[in-house]
Amino acid sequence: MNDVRNLVERCLAKDKAAWNEFVRTFRNLIYQSVRMRFSRSNFSYTHQDVEDVMQEIFLDLWERDKLTQVRDAEKIQAWLSIISQNRAIDYMRQKVYKMSRVSTFIDDTGEAKDLLETIPSEEISARGELLNSELKAILETIIESLSVKEKLVTSLHYLHGKTHREIARIMHLSINTVSTLIRRTRIKIKNELIKKGYKDF
């Protein structure tokens, strides 16, 4: 994988041939990342929007030397995908700003939040009907008491709908460990809910 490191070094040294090779190699990944971020954020986009964001990304990499951040890395695909998505988020923020000119709003807790820093999540749909405020508070206490790994696995499984195998790959754990964590968390939550008098679930 020294090839990538070499390519990055040559791009930083402003070697045009290396840059052309870089664009040819990673263009598709950047394109997919921008499109996926737009779709995931329910942003209505055109081909021109994607091209505009890609232009900005390539400027960051070539003219603003952003590649120095990954000078020592053997693989840069994940980093490239993340910076592309963040650029897409910035682009959406600018569009929202132009459209609304209102950048802050007050959320449920009364806290002022920046609308432009807030992206809609694809998983989040209608408000729950099963939850009442008391149950919500109980679940909050139970989930806060979980270990970091249990909490993360629970989120990936229940919120993002990931299978045990996918979670194992994301967190670099064995499938058995993930299954154990999910089973243990389920039992903990169930026992705590029973203790609090909730039995109908």
Which residues sit at the interface with other proteins, rule CB under 8 A? 28-29, 32-33, 36-37, 40, 69-70, 73, 75-79, 81-83, 85-86, 89, 107, 113-114, 117-121, 123-125, 127-131, 135-136, 139-140, 143, 148-149, 151-152, 154-156, 158-160, 162-163, 165-166, 169-172, 186, 189-190, 193, 201
Question: Which C-beta is closer to other proteins: that of 15 or that of 103?
Answer: 103
Residue whose token pair is 């705590």: 192
Q: Residue 52 Cβ, how far from other proteins at the closest point, in Å?
A: 19
Q: Do 114 and 60 meet the contact criterion of CB atoms below 8 Å apart?
A: no
Question: Which C-beta is closer to other proteins: that of 18 or that of 152?
Answer: 152
Residue whose token pair is 């999910």: 182
Cα–Cα nearest to 55, from 90, 12, 11: 90
Biggest alpha carbon–alpha carbon distance for the chain: 69
Q: Residue 168 Cβ, how far from other proteins at the closest point, in Å?
A: 12
Residue whose token pair is 């089973």: 183
| β-pair partners for 105 | 113
Residue 156: which residues within 8 A CB-CB, separation 6 or more? Answer: 162, 166, 167, 170, 171
Q: Residue 16 Cβ, how far from other proteins at the closest point, in Å?
A: 26
| Helix 175-195 with 164-171: angle, nearest 10 deg | 110
Q: Residue 19 Cβ, how far from other proteins at the closest point, in Å?
A: 20
Question: Which C-beta is closer to other proteins: that of 18 or that of 146?
Answer: 146
Q: Residue 95 Cβ, how far from other proteins at the closest point, in Å?
A: 17
Question: Which C-beta is closer to other proteins: that of 15 or that of 135?
Answer: 135
